[in-house]
């Protein structure tokens, strides 16, 4: 049985949810998956940082009501975050990166991943920034150092669109996609169909926890643009940066636009799309589109995400599932750890043979 020592970078909703799962399901994973997880370090801007080579009790981490700088009360702890020291020096096998996404350059998360890979540690992340801005560099670092770099949760939270497309549709010849890749904007459009104006719909989304205090990244399409870059590069062999993708959000849609669409038996959706032409070039965009009601994405409501993959052999294949949520996103991290475990086990078995 394998024990993976993990360091959590960021202890907000997602990594806290992963700690909850570890506290509740480690024995189940040991039985069904062949490994268990041991948290040996945590670093967080609010709580500080702590290293414990023998492991930290996951249940205590989750249930203790730490104040600001509260990790300083723990043995081996400090009231200050120290991401670089934790990543480089903690006795961890896997760095779990779940800090905020910077839509301008992906930092500091890009550096977090780079430090980990350079020091021979696996990386799993839900952060869109490192994947959208530096995936090629980070993949090369991972390969050079014999470790894994996994990021399933960077596009649709726990819904496995990347791994699904690469593993199960490998021979179907994916040549494009279009998707609803932001639950906040989708919720806002749904509430506008229900009669609210844009500002009121955004306010309701904030009250329900779907939208941040500053909803710009969601409603102006910047979040979707990062996800489009990730999918285009990963599935279509593109080499795009976020600035290569045209981007328009939903803030200019009026109640009149929504009403006109309904009369035309259609509805507005914020769509991220990409298509690969015969010469290999990939064109991408993010913009509101008026979809007929029989379109496979037209019925995707609320905070749900969906992507329709256009394939040569199967036609359109649509994957629908949760695009957000603490536990759902923590599951994506777990699925990445499973992928690393399976790859490591396969290599070990080959070496033994």
Give me the pLDDT at residue 348, please. 56
- The answer on 262 and 335 residing in a single domain is no
- The answer on 129 and 111 residing in a single domain is yes
- The answer on 234 and 137 residing in a single domain is no
For all residues of the chain together, what is the average pLDDT?
A: 94
Q: Is 227 marked active-site?
A: yes
Rg of the Cα atoms in the chain = 21
Strand partners, 291: 267
Domain assignment present for residue 11? The answer is yes
Q: How far apart are CA 97 and CA 86, in angstroms?
A: 12
Query: Quick one: which of 289, 318, 287, 288 has its CA closest to 304?
Result: 318
Q: What's the structural domain count of the chain? A: 2
- The answer on 318 and 192 residing in a single domain is yes
- The answer on 337 and 318 residing in a single domain is no
CATH number for 205:
3.30.360.10
Q: Who contacts 194 (Cβ-Cβ below 8 Å, separation ≥6)? A: none
CATH number for 135:
3.40.50.720
**What is the three-class DSSP state of 196?**
coil
CB 307 within 8 A of CB 179: yes
Q: Average pLDDT for residues 317-345, to the nearest whole number?
A: 93
| pLDDT digits 0-9 by tens, 257-281 | 999 999 999 999 999 999 999 899 9
Query: What whole-number percentage of the chain has pLDDT above 90?
Result: 91
- The answer on 269 and 184 residing in a single domain is yes
- The answer on 264 and 190 residing in a single domain is yes
Strand partners, 239: none
User: How far from chain centre, in Å, is Cα 111?
Assistant: 17
Domain assignment present for residue 164? The answer is no
The range of the structural domain enclosing residue 49 comes to 2-158+327-352
Catalytic residue among 139, 227, 263, 289: 227
Q: Average pLDDT for residues 298-321, to the nearest whole number?
A: 94
- The answer on 148 and 21 residing in a single domain is yes
- The answer on 138 and 182 residing in a single domain is no
CB 335 within 8 A of CB 152: yes
- The answer on 341 and 297 residing in a single domain is no
Query: What whole-number percentage of the chain has pLDDT above 70?
Result: 98
């Amino acid at each position: 049985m394998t024990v993976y020592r993990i360091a959590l970078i960021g202890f907000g909703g997602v990594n806290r949810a992963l700690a909850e799962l570890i506290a509740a399901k480690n024995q189940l994973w040991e039985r069904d998956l062949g490994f268990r997880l041991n948290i040996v370090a945590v670093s967080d801007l609010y709580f500080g940082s702590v290293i414990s080579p023998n492991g930290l009790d996951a249940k205590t981490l989750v249930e203790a009501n730490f104040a600001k700088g509260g990790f300083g009360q723990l043995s081996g702890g400090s009231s200050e975050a120290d991401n670089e020291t934790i990543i480089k020096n903690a006795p961890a096998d896997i760095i779990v990166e779940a800090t905020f996404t910077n839509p301008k350059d992906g930092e500091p998360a890009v550096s977090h991943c780079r430090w980990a890979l350079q020091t021979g540690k696996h990386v799993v992340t839900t952060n869109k920034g490192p994947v959208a801005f530096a995936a090629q560099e980070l993949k090369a670092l991972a390969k050079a150092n014999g470790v894994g770099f996994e990021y399933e949760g960077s596009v649709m939270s726990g819904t496995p669109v990347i791994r699904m497309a690469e593993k199960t549709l490998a021979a179907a010849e994916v040549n494009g996609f279009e998707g609803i890749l932001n639950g906040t904007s989708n919720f806002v459009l749904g509430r506008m169909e229900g009669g609210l104006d844009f500002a009121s719909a955004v306010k309701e989304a904030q009250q329900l926890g779907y939208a941040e205090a500053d909803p710009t990244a969601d409603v102006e399409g910047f979040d979707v643009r990062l996800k489009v870059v990730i999918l285009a590069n990963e599935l279509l062999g593109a080499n795009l940066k976020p600035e290569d993708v045209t981007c328009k959000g939903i803030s200019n849609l009026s109640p009149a636009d929504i009403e006109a669409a309904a009369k035309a038996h259609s509805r507005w959706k914020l769509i991220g799309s990409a298509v690969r032409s015969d010469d290999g070039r990939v064109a991408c965009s993010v913009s509101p589109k008026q979809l007929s009601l029989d379109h496979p994405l037209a019925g995707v409501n609320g905070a749900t995400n969906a992507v329709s993959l256009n394939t040569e052999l199967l036609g359109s294949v649509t994957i629908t599932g949760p695009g957000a949520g603490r536990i759902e996103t923590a599951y994506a991290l777990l699925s990445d750890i499973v992928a690393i475990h399976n790859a490591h086990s396969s290599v070990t078995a080959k070496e033994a043979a």
